[in-house]
Amino acid sequence: MTVRGRWGVAVTALAVVTALALLLWPHPAGPVDVAGAAGRHQVRLVVETPAVGARDLTVEITGPEPVDRLVVAAVMAEMGHAAVPVTAVPVTAAPVAAGTTAPGRFRAAGVEFFMAGRWDVAVTVHGPDGAVEVVLPVLITS
Amino acid sequence: MRRTSRALLVVFAVGAAMLAGAAPALAHGGVVGEDLHVAASLGDRELTVIVRRVGPVPGPLRVDVVNHAGSPGGTLRIRAAAFGAVPAGDEVGLRLADGGGLAGVTLHVDRVGAWELALDDGRETARIPFVVPADVTPAWQWVMSGGYTAAGALLLAALGAAAFGRRTWPPLVLGGGAATAVVVATTAALLSQGMPEGTEIDPVTGRPPATTVPDGAARPHVNLLADAALVAGQRSPIDLRLVDGATGRPVDDLVVHHNALVHLVVLGPGGQFAHLHPARLGPGELRVWFRPSSGGEHRVYAELERRGAGTGPGGVQLVQTTLSAAGPALAETTPAGLGDRDLAGGTSVRVEASRLVAGEPSVLAAEWSEDGRPVRDLQQWLGMAGHLITVGPDATVGHVHAMPPAAVTGSAAAPDETVASGGPRIEFVYTFPTPGRHRLWFQVERDYEVVTVPVEVDVAAAAPRAEAGS
């Protein structure tokens, strides 16, 4: 085999190893984006970094009724743990006038996911007619 | 020839660098089994028995016993026996210190599988089941270490052939083999990151499951039978029998759940409270000694978990019964509500709660201080920073846990009861299901003593719920 051929073999082997490494290298989990309906509100929940620790959650609410207060409470049913509920702070104004459908954006800061696994995040929407709730699943990785 | 060798060296160096990157996966690959903590009341003693993680079998078995404050010292006779076999080794005496502390003995285990640890206090023998797991090396680990070993050997052979051989092809073939081995080993190391930690171990045999049983099927319900001749003010035994609801056979498949086989909550007629951990004497038979402070009917709740199908969990059950005690029924003094209160020994506690509305999660906190300084030496009890038991007006029972800080930071290693670093604030989150007057008991451990703080709170009714859906 020529010198060039040998280099070819070596470079090919290196390329194969590099390609496999890039393909199989563990990637951090992507954001969790789940949605559901709480009464007449459409609720969308985004967890940018679904990993163990205190995480900031974004909640988008679309609905015909105003939102007085929005509480995010995470529960890990498997282990019987409940995290401290967090009252979300509006980022953009929630729909105030009846009939509007523009989404209101809320941010819940520091929701403690203290273990890896399946968490159920209850989003409670307090409005003029009382409270409605939707429970959305979030998978937390270590 | 020299160039080929150099190229191969580069390939090998890259592989070695990747191995270094994948190292964390190796760390938990071989770890099988963990320390087992079991709380048990044996006679007059409140004990926590810690069966340490077992290494290769046959080998030593380390058993530590935590004695609690108020439990007398003395000697326990301890021995380990494989299930249905002659005990391995002799009985060993374990000297317990008065007033709480940790003492340990080293026993010997000679086989994989189900074992029983017998602790004899001279009057009763508690038998604690545990499993010695087989030390199973996962397949990927074999592939990885084999691959790198082969790569090293092949590389040396290639270098040797290049230096001393006359033909051109052997170093190339050997070097190609080395590269292939590196690729295989690296692939295994990288794939292992996505695999579950450890290996599944059958809780009966201690070995990887022979057949795959679908997880998730729950076992039948348990009937609780309690037998006792209780007299107010006297310490006497409560004998418990656990019977399978489908077959009538003794229930002997309990798994240790929150560091005990059974958590027993006894509520007296005047709101008296006790959180006990019966010791297992034999299959389906447990005993705990109890001194009721009042006569009358006592409600007995037993929280337990059966093994599930396959290696899966079986779910927790709360079974209940009643026991009556002879003597006059006494009403306990009504516990205080939220706020500050002084406890014995200069300790005081401030109990706080966020708005208490039925159906909404509430944060309940107890903040501990001693002579005005915050307490920072609370110990973990039953693997948790604190426990909160709630009983509602409609007899709903809640058992709420405060996670220890180690778990919050994501550390896998659970510290012992001997580590005193908790406090001053222990927080619980609980959603009261019903409005009305609820009685709560906050429980933490300090100086090997379980401190119980009873509290009474009023929970407001929820605002009328909006119609769900439209």
pLDDT in tens, B11-21: 555 444 444 43
What's the domain range around B300? 222-326
Comparing alpha-carbon positions, the chain A residue that sits nearest to B408 is A114
In chain B, residues with a C-beta closer than 8 Å to the C-beta of A83 are 429
| Cα B185 to Cα B191: distance, rounded to the nearest angstrom | 10
Q: Does residue B276 share a domain with residue B175?
A: no
Residue B331 lies in a domain: no
Model confidence band, residue B24 (pLDDT cutoffs 50, 70, 90): very low
Yes or no, beta carbons of A7 and B427 under 8 Å apart: no
In chain B, residues with a C-beta closer than 8 Å to the C-beta of A17 are 11, 14-15, 18, 179, 182-183, 186
| Cα B191 to Cα A48: distance, rounded to the nearest angstrom | 25
Residue B208 lies in a domain: no
pLDDT in tens, B124-181: 999 998 888 877 777 788 888 999 999 999 999 999 998 888 888 888 899 999 999 9
pLDDT in tens, A3-16: 888 888 889 989 98
Q: How buried is residue B410: exposed, middle or buried, by Cβ count under 10 Å (0-12/13-18/19+)?
A: middle
Residue B332 lies in a domain: no
Provide the 3-class DSSP secondary structure of residue A139: strand
Q: What is the pLDDT of residue B311?
A: 59
Which of B131, B156, B177 is the endpoint of a domain? B131
Q: Does residue B418 share a domain with residue B392?
A: yes
For chain B, what is the domain count?
4
The CA distances from residue B332 to B32, B276, B283, B324, B347, in Å, are 48, 19, 36, 17, 22
DSSP string computed for B27-83: HHHS-----EEEEEEETTEEEEEEEPPP-SSSEEEEEEEEEPTTS--EEEEEEEEET
Q: Does residue B97 share a domain with residue B48?
A: yes
Predicted ipTM?
0.72
Backbone angles phi, psi at B260, to 5 degrees: -160, 155
Q: Which of A21, A73, A129 sits opposite B18 (nearest CB)?
A: A21
Q: Does residue B54 share a domain with residue B126?
A: yes
Average pLDDT of chain A is 85
Give me the amino acid identity at B98.
D
Least reliable range by pLDDT among A78-87, A110-119, B190-199, B343-352: B190-199
Yes or no, beta carbons of A17 and B182 under 8 Å apart: yes
Q: Does residue B124 share a domain with residue B60?
A: yes
Q: Does residue B90 share a domain with residue B45?
A: yes
Q: Which residues of B110-251 form beta strands (DSSP E)? A: 113-120, 125-132, 222-228, 230-231, 236-244
Q: What is the pLDDT of residue B303?
A: 93
Over 70: is that where the pLDDT of B85 sits? yes
Q: Which of A52, A84, A132 sits opposite B363 (nearest CB)?
A: A84
Distance from CA of A93 to the nearest CA of B (A): 22
Show the domains of chain A with their CATH numbers. 32-140 (2.60.40)
In chain B, residues with a C-beta closer than 8 Å to the C-beta of A115 are 403, 407
Model confidence band, residue B464 (pLDDT cutoffs 50, 70, 90): low
Q: Does residue B308 share a domain with residue B268?
A: yes
In chain A, residues with a C-beta closer than 8 Å to the C-beta of B12 are none
Average pLDDT of chain B is 83
pLDDT in tens, B369-414: 998 899 988 988 888 889 999 999 988 899 999 887 754 444 445 5
Least reliable range by pLDDT among B219-223, B253-257, B333-337: B333-337
Q: Does residue B409 share a domain with residue B436?
A: yes
Model confidence band, residue A68 (pLDDT cutoffs 50, 70, 90): confident
Yes or no, beta carbons of A82 and B431 under 8 Å apart: yes
Distance from CA of A82 to the nearest CA of B (A): 6
Q: Which of B186, B403, B465 sits opposite A20 (nearest CB)?
A: B186
Query: Residue range A75-91: average pLDDT?
Result: 87
Q: Does residue B146 share a domain with residue B120?
A: no
Residue B183 lies in a domain: yes
Q: Does residue B354 share a domain with residue B422?
A: yes
Instruction: Indicate the Cα dihedral angle B223, B227, B231, B237, nearest 10°.
Output: -100
Residue B269 lies in a domain: yes
Model confidence band, residue A72 (pLDDT cutoffs 50, 70, 90): very high
Question: In CATH, what number is assigned to the domain containing residue B345?
Answer: 2.60.40.1930
Nearest to B379 by CA among B93, B102, B30, B41: B102
Higher per-residue confidence, A78 vs B378: B378
Q: Does residue B381 share a domain with residue B246?
A: no
In chain A, residues with a C-beta closer than 8 Å to the C-beta of B363 are 84-85
Q: Which tokens in the block code for residue B30?
A: 């071989």
In chain B, residues with a C-beta closer than 8 Å to the C-beta of A127 are 466
Is residue A59 within 8 A of residue A103, CB to CB? The reply is no
Q: Which tokens in the block code for residue A92?
A: 């953009």
Q: Does residue B178 share a domain with residue B87?
A: no
In chain A, residues with a C-beta closer than 8 Å to the C-beta of B469 are 37, 39-40
Q: Which of A9, A17, A82 sits opposite B430 (nearest CB)?
A: A82
| Cα A29 to Cα A35: distance, rounded to the nearest angstrom | 18
Distance from CA of B299 to the nearest CA of A (A): 24
Residue B304 lies in a domain: yes
The answer to whether A13 faces chain B, any CB pair under 8 Å, is yes
Residue B210 lies in a domain: no
DSSP H/E element including B23: helix B23-29
